[in-house]
Amino acid sequence: LHRDLPREGPGDDGSTERALRLTGILNGDRTNARGVDVLDIGCGPGAQTIVLARETGGSVVALDVHEPFLAVVRRRAAGAALADRIRTVHASMTALPFAHASFDLIWSEGAIFVMGFEPGLRAWRPLLRERGALVVSELSWLAADPPAAARAFWEAAYPGMASRDANRATIERCGYTLVDDFVLPRSSWFTEYFDPLERRIDALTERHARDPAALVQLAAEREEIDVVRRYGDAFGYVFFVMRKAAP
């Protein structure tokens, strides 16, 4: 279902670039001679990895547990003439194989939810150099009183989902300073993620019309898209841009 989609979560290059500008870590703005070291956690097929390598001019480690995604990242990196600056690492975000203070920038689009927002922020902080930046996108409640159907769906699908304000408070509590945050545009759910996924769901529903187990799975995937279509004003993916605070 998910093989060879351009993205594995909501996002778009413009939003990645906007969040990156907020960190101040851009090509040519180097604070040291060594160049920028970037870690992209839960990189998936690597749409944002390419932007990070291109716009920082640095070295990017693209990490995921799913090796087939990493093969796509390597292919995309070669296609963008960035293979010498993008290295893939097959590992889990829960046991990152890097020394403390290895990175100037840690990035994670739509993946910190795997560990949970607060556990992820706490676990990754030691890997950042002094004043390093952490940027994550996280599904967050935007409405104070979301519709019951939206609440019921996400309580089952992502019980740890918090409000934007609660996530801001978590950031400060975990040893970071929030630089800024912004909500991903609604189009970024659809153009490169739900639209191709929905076409895949349609095709597979037809092909597996006599397979009840497959149909249940496909209907569950479609439900998320419907919930976003109907109630997408009540929640959103928020890009949080933060810096490691002094201890």
Ligand X SMILES: C[S@@+](CC[C@H](N)C(=O)[O-])C[C@H]1O[C@@H](n2cnc3c(N)ncnc32)[C@H](O)[C@@H]1O
Residues lying near ligand X in the complex (CB under 6 A) are found at: 7-9, 11, 42-45, 47-48, 64-66, 69, 92-94, 109-111, 114
Which residue, 48 or 167, has its beta carbon nearer to ligand X? 48
* Beta-bridge partners for 137: 109, 239
Closest distance to ligand X from the beta carbon of 247 (Å): 26
The rounded distance, in Å, linking the Cα atoms of 127 and 77 is: 24
Q: How far is CA 222 from CA 35, 200, 219, 226, in A?
A: 43, 10, 5, 6
Q: Residue number with the shortest CB distance to ligand X?
A: 44
Which residue, 30 or 55, has its beta carbon nearer to ligand X? 55
The rounded distance, in Å, linking the Cα atoms of 133 and 135 is: 7
Closest distance to ligand X from the beta carbon of 46 (Å): 7
Closest distance to ligand X from the beta carbon of 157 (Å): 12
Closest distance to ligand X from the beta carbon of 212 (Å): 27
Closest distance to ligand X from the beta carbon of 246 (Å): 29
Closest distance to ligand X from the beta carbon of 45 (Å): 6
A 10 A CB-CB count for 219 gives 12
Which residue, 67 or 206, has its beta carbon nearer to ligand X? 67
Which residue, 36 or 72, has its beta carbon nearer to ligand X? 72
Which residue, 30 or 98, has its beta carbon nearer to ligand X? 98
The dihedral formed by the CA atoms of 220, 47, 142 and 153, expressed in degrees to the nearest 10: 10
Contact in structure between 8 and 44 (CB atoms under 8 Å): yes
| 223-234 CB burial, b ≥16 within 10 A, e <16 | eebebbeebeeb
Which residue, 3 or 210, has its beta carbon nearer to ligand X? 3
Q: Which residue has the tokens 């560990």?
A: 115
